[in-house]
Structure 1
């Protein structure tokens, strides 16, 4: 069964979600995991792709867009992930991919901003009602 982690950032800045997604993706990739970053739309996926290029000056994270190569170890996309991905799904969209349950883990990143927080609460209820193991992590941020 998919393990679901909610990362609750102590910020109202929606942009910090992308920064934190970069951190999670990098950490997971270093541990040998494959990562699909589920974005709201193509524009957000491209923004996240650019952030990942310059995320860490001391380390390279091989990644790409789902439209270019959906089978890479770390992929930014929107909509249904390629079948090559079933390890970690990082969700940045208001809803989650229909196939989230095929993943070992799902990470939801939430900030204290109602347009992001309220849909996340609905997803939390959805997962809880279906018996998925849920973890919440309070993340203190500077922004």
Structure 2
């Protein structure tokens, strides 16, 4: 059963949410875990792809869009089935991933945008209803 964590940001800045996803992807990859970053749509996936290229000038984060290279250490996609199991899912979508069980750890990144807060509260309840024990982490 995956470990579920909600990382809560204090601002409503959408870019801050993407930066947090990049930082968490780098950290998980450095720990040797495969990473799947789930975007909310193709535009956000493209934005994440670009941000990961520029994220750390002194550090390369090996990543690709799922459609281009699904076996990369860090993969950006939407609801594609991950090519490796037991990695980390960083969920930027507003709903639960249909592939939650394939991961060892799921991170939901929450900011203070009202619509996102409501969606994440619903996700938190859904995880509990499915038998998970989600945790809240303040950033």
TM over 0.5, shorter chain: yes
Asked if the contact 1:40/1:93 (under 8 Å) is kept, the reply is yes
Distance in 1 (CA, whole Å) between partners of 2:21 and 2:92 is 8
Distance in 1 (CA, whole Å) between partners of 2:45 and 2:86 is 19
Report how many aligned residue pairs link the two structures.
Answer: 139
**TM-score normalized by structure 2?**
0.95
1:82 Cα deviation (Å)? 2.7
CA-atom RMSD in angstroms: 1.1
Match for residue 75 of structure 1? Answer: 75
Distance in 2 (CA, whole Å) between partners of 1:85 and 1:113 is 31
What are the ranges of 5 or more consecutive residues in structure 2 without an aligned counterpart? none
Match for residue 129 of structure 1? Answer: 129
Evaluate the alpha carbon distance shift between residue 123 and residue 45 of structure 1 in structure 2; reply closer, same or farther with a 3 A threshold. Answer: same
Asked if the contact 1:2/1:133 (under 8 Å) is kept, the reply is no
Runs of 4+ in 1 over 3 A off after TM superposition: none
1:13 Cα deviation (Å)? 1.0
What are the ranges of 5 or more consecutive residues in structure 1 without an aligned counterpart? none
1:12 Cα deviation (Å)? 1.1
**TM-score normalized by structure 1?**
0.93
